[in-house]
Amino acid sequence: MTTTTTGRLAVVGAVGTAHTRVEGRDKVTGAARYAGEIPFAELAHGWLVLSTIARGRIRSVETAPVLEMPGVLTVLHHGNAPRVDGDYTGPMGPPDPALLVFQHDRVPYAGWPVALVVAETSEQAREAAEALVVQYDEEPHDVAFSAGRPGTYTPADTPRAAAEQRKGDPVAGFAASAVVVDAEYTTPEEHHNPLEPHAAAAQWDDGRLDVVDSNQGSAFVAQELAKLFSLDPGAVRVRSENVGGAFGSKGTRPHQVLAVMAATVLHRPVRVVLTRRQMFSLVGYRSPTVQRVRLGADPDGRLRALDHEAQNLTSTQREFIERSADPARVMYDADAHHTVNRVVPLDVPTPTWMRAPGEAPGSFALECALDELAEKCGVDPIALRVRNEPAAGPVSGLPFSSRNLLACYEEGARRFGWAGRDPRPGIRREGRWLLGTGMAAASFPSGAAPSTASVTAEPDGTFTVRITAADIGTGARTALTLIAADELEVAPDRISMRIADSDFGPAMIAGGSMGTRSWAWAVTAAARDLRGQLALGGSIPPHGITARSDTAELIGALPARERHAFGAQFAEVAVDVTSGEVRVRRMLGIFAAGRIVNPLTARSQLVGGMIWGLSMALHEEAVRDEVSGGLVGADLASYHFAANADVPVVEADWVDDPDDEDPVGIKGIGEIGIVGAAAAVANAVWHATGTRHRHLPIRPDRVLLAGPGSHRQSS
Amino acid sequence: MREFGYQRAFDVPGAVALLGAEPEARYLGGGTNLVDLMKTGVERPALLIDVRELPLDRIEATDAGGLRIGATVTNSDLAAHPEVRRRYPALAQAVLAGASGQLRNMATVGGNLLQRTRCGYFTDVAKPCNKRVPGSGCPAIEGEHRNHAILGASAHCVAVHPSDMAVALAAFDAVVTYETADGPGELPLAEFYRPVGDTPHLETVLPAGALITGIVLPPAPVAAVSRYRKVRERASYAFAIGSIAAALDVRDGVVQEVRLAFGAVASRPWRAREAERLLTGGPVGAEAFAAAADAELAAARALPDNGYKVTLMRNLVVAVLSELSELPGAPGESGTTDLSGEAAR
C-alpha cells in the first residue's frame, strides 16, 4: 500500500514533448477494437434501405417476400417501427428530423432511410435489403443550388452568432475606394468520409440501454438517445473506445437510433453498420457555397470597405448554416464592414459541420480576394495583410485574447523563402510547367465548453482518469495523459486514461477544435483537487481516492474576448495549362494556436488539415444529379481527394502562443490546418498562370479552358 | 450480396467447359473490377470460374518477331517485362499509369480488356443505365458527363472505356486470342469492341463463353520510340480524362510511320487513323501535328460539359508527338524513353 507521496516520480514536463499514441501499439497490431467488430453474443445485423427518390411518399414496403428470405428476423419501416419522442431540445437544439426514423411516410431527399432489414448475418441482411421492394408516390424535387435563387433567406440570429453584421456605410465606403475587388467564389458539395464507417450496436442489459458506437461524444449521443426513447438519462450507456476518424460526421445519426429500435423489438443485440455509399446521404457533408466578396481600398491597400455575402444550402428538414462570412469578422477591419450568411432549403440531405465549418470555404473566398486586392494595388500579399491587421475585433470591438498572426507571417515568409518573390504572374517556366507561389491567412475560433472529469489515486501509485472525451484519431487520449501526468507530477505511464464512456459524466464532444482544451481543463481541475486531498497525507484505501471536477462555472466566468487561433499558409504549384494538370510542389503552414501539448500528433493534425486543403483546392467535389436528386459516384473511387502522389513536402510548425486564460495554455488545433490552405494553392495557381480560379476544385478542364496567362478568369 | 459458387480452373478447356455449363458464370481474373461490381450489385454471377491458375502467364517472343502475352499475366509483370519495355515502351508506361501497385499485382491482361466503364450511373444500381439495364435510359447525357465520350458515342450510351493498357495495344495493332468450346479464335483489337449503337450492354464481339487466352503484338519497329501520356484529375489512382499512346518514326524530317491511339474519349480505345494518314509522309512540327489532331477530332461530338476533351486531346497530340520527334535516335535504338511516366517533381 503506497502513501500519497511515496512512489511518485518527480517528472514534470510531459506536455510539449513528442509522445507516440498510448494506444498506438494496439491500433497497429489490430488489438484495438472498433464498433463494427466488437463481438456480442446473439448479435443480429441490421441493413438500411434508403430512398431512391428525392421527394414524395412511401406507398408501400413489400416486406412479405423479404421476410421469407434466409435469416431475416424483421423489417422495420414507418408502418411498424416503435414511436420515438422528437419533442425536446437537446445539446444541439431540437433533434435532427433524420433521427426520427420511420415515424412517417414522407421522403424529403434521396438516400432517406425507409427500412431496416435485420437478419442473423450481415450478408443475409444485405441480400434481403437489396431485394426489398419499396413503392413510392414521387413528387417533383428541386436540388439546384445557385446564387440568390428563389427561396434564399437570411436566417435568424443564434445565441452564438449573428447571421448578418453591419458596421458603417458600405455604399459610401466603396464609393470612396480607389481600388475595388468584386468577385464571386464557389465551393462545391464536399464530404467527410472517415476510414471507419459509422457503426453502432445496441443491447438491453438489465434494464439499461447499452450502445457500443463510433462517435465524437458519447455523453451527447447518450443524452439524445435517452430523449428519443423517453428513458431516464442514467438508463443509457454509450461507449466509443476507438474511432477511425469523424471530422464532424459522427454525432447522433439514424443508425444508432435504428440499432436501439431493432434491439428493443427483437430483444437481442443488434448492430447497424453503414456502407460507404450510405454515408454519402446519412452522415452530413459540407454544403456547396456561393460567396461574393467585395473589398474597397486606398491605393496602398488599406481597406475602407469589406463585404462578404455567403450562401449555402440546407435540407427542407433542418436549417444548417455554413458560416462562410464569419472569418471576415475576425480577420480584417474596415470602416464599412458587412457580412451575412444566407441559406436556401432544397430537397437534399442536411449538411453538417465538416472540418473547419465556415472557415474552410470562407477563407477560400476571403483570402483569394485579398490576393486579388494585392495584385490590383501592387502590394505584396503579406504586406497587404499586415497593413490591415486589426487591433481589436473588427466588428465586435472586443480585445483579442492573443493574436500572433504577424509572427506567423514572419516565420512563414522566412522559412518559405518569400522575400524577393517576383509578383508578376505567368513568367516562371520549367519544361511544360508554369510555377507560382501563393499564401493565405488562417483563423479558427478557440473555445472551451463545460466538462466533468474524475481522477482517482489508486493504491498502487497509479492514477485513473475518467472523462467522456473522444479520441477520433487526433491523439486526444495521449494528450490528456500528458496533461494529467504533468498536473499530478508523475510520469505518463502512471496514468490510466479512460475515455469515451457516457457513464463517466457529461463532457464536451470532439468538435469545434474545443475537445482537448475542454477536457484538459476538467482533468486539470480534478487533478489539482486530488493533489490537494493527497497533500493531507494518509494511506490510499483499496478503492482509491477520487476527485471530481465540473468546469461549468470556471468557463462561464470567462470575460468576453475575441478568441482565435491564427496561421499563415504557403504553397508552391506547377501548372501545365495545355493539359490542365496542377501539382502542388510544397506547402508550409505556420500557426499560432496556443500551447502545443504533443508536437508529434499536433503536427500530424495540422499537416492532415493542410493536405485536406490541397484536396479541397484541386480534387474534392460531390456531383449532385439534378434529374435523380442523388449523387453520382457516391464512393471513394469517384469522389476524388488527394492521393499520396498528389501530396508533396508538407511542413507544419508553430510560433509560441500560450493562451493565458487556459490552465494548460491550449487554444485548440483541430481545424485550423485546413483554413486558408485552398486559398494559398489557388493564389499560387494565379501566380503561376495569371488566371484567377474562383471555383473549386481547380480541375484540369477548368485550367485547360481558362487557357494560359493573360489575366483571364475561369468560368 | 447474392450467394455464388467459386471454382478454380486448371486448364483452358476445363475453364471453357465450366462456363458452358453455367450461363450465369463469370471468369475471375484478378477480380479488381468484377469483385467491386459484385459488392455494389452491378454484377450478380452465380458462379466464378477462377482462371488465374491457367498456364497463360507467360510473355514470349513470336516467330514473326512480336510478343505473345498470356491472358493471366499480371499488369505488374507486363509492365516490368524487359522486352515489353524495350520494344513497346508505351505499353509498359500505360500499364504503370493505371491503378495502384496493389491492383496491378492482381489485375490480369485478359481482365483488363474486359473491365467495365466507371460511369457513375453504371456503377449505381439505384440509377438508370442502358449498359446495366438495357432500355432504362442514359442519364449521363443530361446529367454528369464531364468524363464521358466525345467520339463514337450514341444516344444510348456515352460511357468511356477505362483501360490504359488497351490504348497502347490499339496503337500497336494487337490481336486478341481466345478459346471456345468449338476451338480457338482470334480478333484484332480494332474489331474486338463493338460500336455502341443501341446495344451498349454488348461490349465486345467475343463469342459467347469464350475465354481470352492472350494478346499477340505483331512486330512494330516504330513502337520502340513510343510514349503513353495520361491526364487525370489527380496524380494517381484515377482514370484518365484523356490519354494518348503514340509512336513516331521520323527520317530526314519526314514522318515514315506514326501510331496514335486515344484513351478516355470513346467506348473503346480510339485508334486515330485519320491523323496517322495525314501525318505519314509529311513534315514534323507543331503545325502538322495540330492539323492532324484537328482532322481526327473533327468527328468529335461534345456534350455540354466534356468539350474540353477536344482541346485536351489536340494538345496531347502536339505535346507527345513533339516530344517524340525531338528524341535522338531512330526506332530500335531508343531504349531510353522515360518508363516511369512523367512526374511534375
CA pair distance B90, B173, nearest whole angstrom: 13
Give the DSSP H or E segment for A565: strand A564-576
Q: Give residue-wise pLDDT tens across range B289-320.
A: 999 999 999 999 999 999 999 999 999 999 99
The whole-number average pLDDT for the span A178-190 is 98
Residues 69-98 of A with CB under 8 A from B: none
Q: Given a cut of 90, is residue B140 above it in pLDDT?
A: yes
- Say which amino acid occupies A340: V
Residue B340 has pLDDT above 70, yes or no: no
What pLDDT is stored for residue A593 in this prediction? 98
Q: Is the dihedral of CA A607, A609, A615, A618 positive or negative?
A: negative
Q: Which three cell numbers stand for residue A549?
A: 471536477
Sign of CA dihedral A76, A79, A84, A86: positive
The Cα–Cα gap between A462 and A445 comes to 36
Distance from CA of A96 to the nearest CA of B (A): 26
User: Number of folded domains in chain A?
Assistant: 1
Q: 3-class SS at B156?
A: coil
| Digit-coded pLDDT (tens) for A542-573 | 999 999 999 999 999 999 999 999 999 999 99
| B246 touches B320 (CB < 8 A) | yes
Is A518 within a domain? Answer: yes
Mean pLDDT of A45-74: 98
Active-site residue list of A: 671
Q: How far apart are CA A86 and CA A83, in angstroms?
A: 9
Q: Is B267's pLDDT higher than 90?
A: yes
- The answer to whether residue B258 sits within a structural domain is yes
Q: What is the CATH number of the domain that holds B44?
A: 3.30.43.10
The reply to whether residue B41 touches residue A130, judged by beta carbons under 8 angstroms, is yes
Is B254 inside any structural domain?
yes
CB contact under 8 A, A634 and B124: yes
Percent of the residues in chain B that have a pLDDT greater than 70, as a whole number:
95
In a domain, A352, yes or no: no
In this prediction, residues B228-248 reach a mean pLDDT of: 97
pLDDT tens string A207-247: 999 999 999 999 999 999 999 999 999 999 999 999 999 99
The answer to whether residue A690 sits within a structural domain is no
Q: In the structure, what pLDDT confidence band is assigned to residue A9 with cuts at 50, 70 and 90?
A: very low
Q: CB distance from B340 to chain A under 8 Å?
A: no
For residues B109 and B77, what is the distance between their CA atoms, to the nearest angstrom? Answer: 10
Closest partner CB to A581 (pick from B231, B308, B318): B231
Strands B25-28 and B47-50: parallel
Q: What's the whole-number mean pLDDT along residues B255-270?
A: 98
**pLDDT for residue A86:** 95
The grid cell for B282 is: 509529311
Name the B residues in 240-299 with CB < 8 Å from any A CB.
Answer: 241-242
Whether the pLDDT of residue B345 is over 80: the answer is: no
| pLDDT at residue A12 in the model | 59
Distance from C-alpha of A233 to C-alpha of B293, rounded to nearest angstrom: 71
Compute the nearest-CA separation of A101 from chain B (Å).
21
Of A579, A626, A644, the CB nearest to B316: A579
Mean pLDDT of A413-442: 97
pLDDT tens-place string over residues A395-404: 999 999 999 9
B48-87 pLDDT per residue, tens: 999 999 999 999 999 999 999 999 999 999 999 999 999 9
The answer on pLDDT for A1 being more than 90 is no
Residue B271 clears pLDDT 90, i.e. is over it: yes
On whether residue A539 sits in a domain, the answer given is yes
Per-residue pLDDT band for B332 (boundaries 50, 70, 90) equals very low
Q: Which of B118, B232, B236 sits opposite A637 (nearest CB)?
A: B118
CATH of the domain at A544: 3.30.365.10
The answer, for A637 touching chain B at a CB cutoff of 8 Å, is yes
Sorted by sequence, the CB contacts under 8 Å of residue A110 that are 6+ apart come out as A50, A51, A52, A53, A54, A141, A281, A347, A628, A629, A630, A631
pLDDT band at B328 (very low <50, low <70, confident <90, very high): confident
Per the CB < 8 A criterion, the answer to whether A423 and A439 are in contact is: no
With a CB-CB cutoff of 8 Å, which residues 28-57 of chain A face chain B? 52
Looking at CA atoms only, how far is residue A637 from chain B in angstroms? Answer: 8
pLDDT reported for residue A538: 87
- Report the C-alpha gap between B283 and B296 in whole angstroms: 17
- Mind telling me how many Å the CA of A646 is from chain B's nearest CA? 5
Q: Nearest 5 degrees, angle CA B300-CA B304-CA B305?
A: 95
Q: Is residue B106 part of a domain?
A: no
Backbone angles phi, psi at A260, to 5 degrees: -65, -45
Q: What residues in B contact A574, CB-CB < 8 Å? A: 344-345
Report the distance separating Cα A695 and Cα A714, nearest Å. Answer: 8
Residue A534 sits in which domain range?
24-32+449-556
Give the strand pairing for A72-77 and A164-167.
unpaired
The answer, yes or no, to whether residue B255 has pLDDT greater than 80, is yes
A359: CB partners within 8 A, 6+ apart: A326, A327, A442, A443, A444, A671, A672, A674, A675
pLDDT digits 0-9 by tens, A275-319: 999 999 999 999 999 999 999 999 999 999 999 999 999 999 999
Q: What does the pLDDT read at residue A411?
A: 98
Q: Is residue B295 part of a domain?
A: yes
Write the pLDDT tens digit of every residue in B95-109. Answer: 999 999 999 999 999
Question: How much is the average pLDDT of A347-361?
Answer: 98
Interface test with A, best of B1, B3, B129, B345 (most A CBs within 10 A): B345
Span A80-96, pLDDT tens digits: 999 999 999 987 789 99
In a mutational test of the B interface, the residue from A704, A714, A715 whose CB has the highest number of chain B CBs within 10 Å is A704
DSSP string, A72-100: EEEEEETTTPPP----S-BTTBSPPGGGS
Listing DSSP states for A683-699 in one string gives HHHHHHHS-B--BSS--
Is residue B214 within a helix (H) or strand (E), and if so which, with residue range? strand B211-217
Between helix A515-535 and helix A476-488 the angle, nearest 10°, is: 30
Residue of B nearest to A633 (CA): B120
Range of the domain at B229: 222-325
For chain B, what is the domain count?
A: 2
C-alpha cell at A219: 455523453
Q: Choose among B40, B144, B311: nearest Cβ to A625.
A: B144
Alpha-carbon span A303 to A387, nearest angstrom: 9
pLDDT at residue A708, as a whole number: 60
- A246 dihedral zone (left: phi>0; alpha: psi -120 to 50; beta): alpha
Q: Say if B211 falls within a structural domain.
A: no
**B234 occurs within a structural domain:** yes
| pLDDT over 90, % of chain A | 95
Distance CA B284, CA B288 (A): 6
Contact of B236 with chain A, judged by CB distance below 8 Å, is answered with yes
Region B148-162: mean pLDDT is 98
pLDDT, mean over chain A: 96
Would you say residue B298 lies in a domain?
yes
The answer to whether residue A648 neighbours chain B at the CB level (below 8 Å) is: yes
Query: Is residue B226 situated within a structural domain?
Result: yes
Q: What is the ipTM of this complex?
A: 0.94
**DSSP element (H, E) containing A466:** strand A463-467
Cα–Cα distance between A688 and A695 in angstroms, integer? 17
* A701 in contact with chain B, both atoms CB, cutoff 8 A: yes
In a domain, A482, yes or no: yes
